[in-house]
Each structure stands twice: as C-alpha cells, then as structure tokens.
Copies of this chain bind each other. A is one copy, B any other.
Amino acid sequence: MNNNQNILIIGAGLCGSLLALRMAQRGFQVTLVEKRPDLRKVTQDAGRSINLALSDRGLRGLRLVGVEEEAKKLCIPMNGRMIHDSKGNTFLSPYSGRKDEYINSISRPGLNMLLLDEVEKMPNVQLIFNHACETVDLENASATFRNYNSKEKKTISADAIFGTDGAGSAVRKSMFESHKPAGRTGGFLFSFSQQWLSHGYKELEIPAAENNSYRTYKNALHIWPRGEDMLIALPNLDGSFTVTLFLPYENSDYCFANLTSPKMVHEYFNKEFPDVVEMIPSLAEEFFGNPTGPLGTVKCSPWNSFGKVLLMGDAAHAIVPFYGQGMNASFEDVVVFDDLIENYFPSPTSPPLGGGWEGLFKEYEALRKKDTDAIADLAVDNFHEMKEHTAMEIFQKKRKLETAFEAEFPEDYYSKYSLVTFKESITYSEALKRGRAQDKAILNLLDDGKINEEMSLKEKLELVKKATEAILHDDEVAFG
C-alpha cells in the first residue's frame, strides 16, 4: 500500500498517453482508461486522419518524456507547401526562410503505439482498454465505465481525474450537463462553444509507387487551393500519401450534397485536380466508402470542476486542422502543466501545497486558456488562407518577402506561421497578436506601394517592423 496520489486519466490517445507517461515518471499512481481496443493489436480508424503534422511545440512534449528520438524515426520532414494550380503547375512555398525549420508528417497510430509502449513499461500505470466512460461524478472524482465486451460497469475513484478523451469528450459532457445557471448549488456556470465550418472533409489515398517510391514530391505538404474547396496531401513512410478533400457540405457548384455518383466525382476531380486523378486509382470507391467528417472548434471554461476533474487536449480545446497544431497544442498542454506541478506536489507522496489539485488546475487554466483560444482562432484563419490566399498575388508577395526576411535576417524576423510553428518560446497568444499585426503591416505597405524594388531588404524589414509596432501601439491604446 502506498500513499501516492491516485490519478485517473480517461482517454489513451496522444494527449492521454503522453500525460500518463509523464505523471508516471513523476511517481504518481496512474490508471489510464481507453474506450477503444488496444490499437497495437486491432487495426481500426478507417477513414480517420492517419497522419499529422508534428512541429516544435509537439517535439518539446516528446522530449520531456524522453521519446523524441524514437518519434523522429517515424517522421518525414516537410519543408514547405507545394502549391498545385488548376493547370497542374507546382511551386514550393517554404515554411520558413531558416533552413533548419520544417514540420514533420507522422503517423497518428504509429506515434500513439510508441507512447503506449513506453507507458506500459512503467510499473505504476494500470492500462485498461475497451472501457467507455459513461458518467463522471465531478464532485467526488469518480467515473463509471462500461466494458465494451462484457457490458459490465466499473467505477474508478481517484484523487484527480483527467479528461483526455478528445473532441467528443464524455468528461466534458458531464461538465456541460452539470451546468446550472440559477442558484448554482451543486452546479456551476460552464461556458461552452462548438462551431462548425460549412465544409466537411473526406480522406483518400495516393498509394505508393513501385518499391515504396513516392508518386509526387515527398518532402512537402501538398495543397491544391481552389477558392471554396481544397485538397491536401501528406506523405507516409511507406511511400503513400494521405489525401484530404475539404469541400462545402452544400450550396456550392461542387459539394458533398451533389457529388452523389462516381461519374460526378470523376468529373469534379478531372476539372479541379487533373494532376491528382491518375494518382488515386480507387477514387470513387474511397470517396463513397470513407465517411465525411465535420470540422469543428470546441472551446469551454472552466476546464476543471470542483478542483477534482480537469480537461486537457482536444477535450478542452478541439481545433480545426488547418494550422497543423492540434496534436502540438495538446502536447504543449502537458508541458505547461508539468512546469507547474512541482509548486503543488513537490513529490507524489508529499502533502499538497498551494491548494493542491484545485490550485494547480486553476493556475494551469489561467496560464493556458488564452493560448488554446488563440490557436483555435488561428486555425480557422488558416482555413481561409489555405484555400483562398495561397493562390492570390498579394499573399504570394507577402510570403516571398517574409521568406527573404527569414533567410537574410534569421534572428530578426519570424512570420506568423514561424511564430506559431517554430518559436516555442513564445505563446500562441503572443504569436497571434504579433503575427496578425505583421500581416496587416505588410499587406498595407504592399497595397499602398510603400515597399518598392529600389529599397534594400534591410530597409523593407525596418519599414515592416515600424508599421507593426505602430499597429500594436494603436490597438493597445484603443483596446487595452
């Protein structure tokens, strides 16, 4: 019998596995429960996003638990966006002017398996699969699960519960339903939002060519921007690409509501993405066989109930995939949380300080929520940028200028994309504020003709910096 704090983590996806591993490394007694079967034993997830973009914030989380090097073996570096225009022309738009900055394509199940393998090596973790969370007793920190096979119910109590059960979180649902605006006895005010884009997504596959070679350039995130709709593709280690189509549900020339036959799907792809058709041999079968997924943003507050239960990762802040930051933000959650924990639990057996779990949960949210709100908003912005702006001249000019700044003055300039993706030392909310001001400065300087070809790059940079500071100052005066 030990007197360690008992931790129950609900959801053994990427965030839950990383958190379990870290908490176990710190010596807590951890129970990690997952609704689905063990993905190391059962193949699943047909049609769900099977690769993801891993960048600096996510790598920092993996470094924290000592698996960064192992994870890198699963990575394919992507140096930029390969833009495919409607005539089949391509050009590469680098993610950064600095040579060492790139993002990585990584297999979601591959990375999850790696983390679960590490979790399983820890003697102080109990790992339970096939148990779906049905209800959470928020005030008493216990949760009831249903065994997928036997249908039996099982209740687990803990000192603290973490809901890392993803965008459709059952733990968050318990909080939503405990919401009682008037009176508030036994209830609390739970702010909540779910916002859906008018677009859905569909996954398709470009299979590997002979000898696991790639049918198009390997080290890029491919984009076919078409205004209202967009196709992207990320490489996999086996030579294939996972392709995702983003398309309006309805009210568009081409939309999920009217692409109802193989003939129409082929017509649409031949017209919009002629260079892709030949690379997807099973186009129509996949289009009609794979589910159509929605694209939603979820925000909520407070993340904790009664100082007993805390939401983390997608359960607390699901975002749309257009900044490639979903997993990275969740891993950064664990890093931020881990930075604080010693002030409350110097060791897992010592008496809690500073209000214990409740104090810790509140400080964590006070520190973190503005940043997950920021990346949620940035991801929606990027949806519009990717499908529309990447094909527009003024945005291409801006991108070119920023890439030149980063190449020539690597210490002095970070684009909004670089701030978000590569500059882990600043928060998402700072990246949003500075990044948007920079974008506004450059677009207006270009629009006003104030940046011209007689100027040196250094002069252009000074102009952009000055205009950015003026914008930040004016906003500060007006909005505080």
Which A residues are closer than 8 A to B by beta carbons?
A: 168, 181-184, 189-196, 249, 291-294, 296, 299, 436, 439-440, 443-444, 447, 474-475, 477-479
Q: Which residues of B contact A439 (CB under 8 A)?
A: 478
Residue from B184, B191, B443 in contact with A478 in the complex, judged by beta carbons closer than 8 Å: B443
Cβ B194 vs Cβ A194 within 8 A: no
Secondary structure dominating the interface of A: mixed
Across the interface, name the chain B residue whose C-beta is closest to A389.
B480
Contact among B168, B181, B444 for A296, CB-based, below 8 A: B181
Q: Is the CB of B182 within 8 A of A291?
A: yes
Chain B residues positioned under 8 Å from A440 (CB to CB): 474-475, 477-479
Residues of B within 8 A of A194 (CB): 190-193
Specify which of B183, B293, B294 is in contact with A291 (CB 8 Å cutoff). B183
Tell me which residues across on chain B come within 8 A of A443, comparing CB atoms.
Answer: 477-478
Measured between beta carbons, the chain B residues less than 8 angstroms from A291 are 182-183
Is B478 in contact with A293, judged by CB distance below 8 angstroms? no
B-chain residues with CB within 8 Å of residue A189 when the two chains form the complex: 196, 249, 294, 296
Whether B195 and A477, one on each chain, are in contact in the complex, defined by CB atoms closer than 8 angstroms, is no
User: What separation, in Å, do the CA atoms of A443 and B168 have in the docked complex?
Assistant: 44
**Interface centre among A183, A436, A444, by most B CB within 10 Å?**
A444
Contact partner of A192 (CB less than 8 A), chosen from B193, B444, B474, B479, is B193
Contacts of A293 in B (CB 8 A): 181-182
B191 to A444, Cβ gap below 8 A? no
The reply to whether A474 and B444 form a contact with Cβ atoms under 8 Å apart is: yes
Residue on B with the closest CB to A445?
B477
Residues of B within 8 A of A475 (CB): 440
**Top 7 closest A-B pairs, CB basis?**
A193-B193, A440-B478, A189-B196, A181-B294, A447-B477, A191-B195, A443-B478
Given contacts A181-B296, A193-B194, 14 further A-B contacts (CB under 8 A): A181-B294, A182-B294, A183-B291, A189-B249, A189-B294, A190-B196, A191-B196, A192-B192, A193-B299, A439-B478, A440-B479, A443-B477, A444-B478, A447-B477
